Amino acid sequence: MTDPHDHDADAEHVVYPGARRADRRRSVDSYGIEIAVYEWGDRDAPVLLLAHGGFDFARTYDVFAPMLADAGWRVVSWDQRGHGDSQHAALYSWGADGRDALAVLDSTTDTPVAVVGHSKGAGVTMDLVHGLPERFTRFVNIDGLPSARPQPDVSDHERTRMAARTTAAWLDHRRAIASKSRRPGSFDELAKRRGRMNPRLSIEWLRYLVSAGARHDPDGWRWKLDPSMRFGGFGPWRPDWSLRRMPKFPRPMLALLGMMPEEMGSGLTPDDVRPHLPPGTQLEVFSDTGHFIHIEKPREVADLVLRFLRDSNP
């Protein structure tokens, strides 16, 4: 039985070792969509953008970002449309996420910046660096390299049936979402649900995420994430396209791979990615870490990023 009132009194005070809220919070209007922006560190320090992954939000950087800020960077992150405290949009697309990211960058500085992206956030910002290299100096990719997943070894007939199920499920979802809201639960239920996606993260961290990424409604706690979003899907994009142009990536890159298998992970191995990396890319492999490398090992990742930012030539 859900008790909608458990922990509501102390949600604002949930703490996690090393976690620090942003020093500043502002909003950016991206073509009519209000984007929530968070900043850690000195306003006059060089800018470092942090892009979060799909179904995450900027405050998942509450431990990692302060480490970078304390080393002399103005760290700027944002909730992607439909995520965290940013406005829910009617439409979502990769291109729209790129435009929103650019709106945040435009609102921050016209000087070229370094950027760190995790998972989908890495993919979106990689495209921005490709398209607008003059706006960026260096790039860190945390477990978000493109991959050409092998097709399942099934017959054409079965493959067609799988594709049909995927498209039909997506259309069914579209038919139903007008009246949908996220399922409410107690504070700890939300943390446990999130734990099914992030099985390697501690319950203390998951509870901290609930305190930042969920809201308390009269019938319980709900993630702020737009309920119209769902995992999976389909579309025309071919992973080969991203792989093919990666060797020409125009800025120095540090790429991190987490090797422990996870639902949200890419499943990529170093051998999968090495042939496609641009010359000079620094590849760091975390054999005992999952998809959320910067959350499992924030100090280690922050040190790698800071060394890369110090030593690489834009």
Partner 1 sequence: MSADGFQTLIHAKIRLALHPLEDRPGPRLLLLHGLGQRSPKQTPNEIRDWPGSVFALDFTGHGASTIPRGGGYTAELLMGDADAALEKIGPATLLGRGLGGYVAAMLAGARAQLVRGAIVCDGPGLAGGGTEPGKSTGPIVADSTDRAPDPFALLELATDLRPPDYASTFARQALAGSTATPPVTVCALERPEWLTAWLGSPAATPGTLADALRRYAQMQ
- Shortest Cβ 158–partner 1 spacing (Å): 11
Per-position x/- string for 20-39, each x denoting binding to partner 1 as judged by CB under 8 A, each - no binding: ----------xxxx------
Are 285 and 269 in contact by the 8 Å Cβ rule? The answer is no
Residues paired with residue 125 on neighbouring β-strands, in sequence order: none
Residue ranges of alpha helices (H) inside the chain are: 64-69, 94-108, 120-131, 156-176, 187-197, 203-213, 239-245, 270-273, 293-296, 298-311
Span near partner 1 by CB under 8 A; candidates 49-57, 95-103, 215-223, 287-295: 95-103
Are 139 and 253 in contact by the 8 Å Cβ rule? The answer is yes
Judged by CB under 8 A, does residue 168 bind partner 1? yes
Span near partner 1 by CB under 8 A; candidates 52-60, 145-153, 154-162, 284-292: 154-162
Among 15, 154, 164, 203, binds partner 1 (CB under 8 A): 164
Residue placing its CB nearer to partner 1 in the complex, 33 or 206:
33
Judged by CB under 8 A, does residue 175 bind partner 1? yes
Per-position x/- string for 121-150, each x denoting binding to partner 1 as judged by CB under 8 A, each - no binding: ------xx-xxx------------------
- Nearest CA to 129 out of 239, 246, 39 is that of 246
Give the chain's end-to-end CA distance (angstroms, integer).
56
Are 263 and 143 in contact by the 8 Å Cβ rule? The answer is no
Judged by CB under 8 A, does residue 115 bind partner 1? no
Residue placing its CB nearer to partner 1 in the complex, 107 or 282:
107
Residue 63, Ramachandran bin (φ over 0: left; ψ between -120 and 50: alpha; else beta): alpha
Among 245, 282, 283, 300, binds partner 1 (CB under 8 A): 245
What are the structure tokens assigned to 312, written together? 């690489």
Q: Is 110 exposed, middle or buried (0-12, 13-18, 19+ CB in 10 A)?
A: exposed
Q: How many residues bind partner 1 (CB under 8 A)?
A: 44
Among 9, 17, 44, 90, binds partner 1 (CB under 8 A): 90
- Contacts to partner 1 by CB under 8 A: 30-33, 81, 88-93, 95-96, 98-100, 102, 127-128, 130-132, 156-157, 160-161, 163-164, 167-168, 170-171, 174-175, 177-178, 228, 234-238, 241, 245
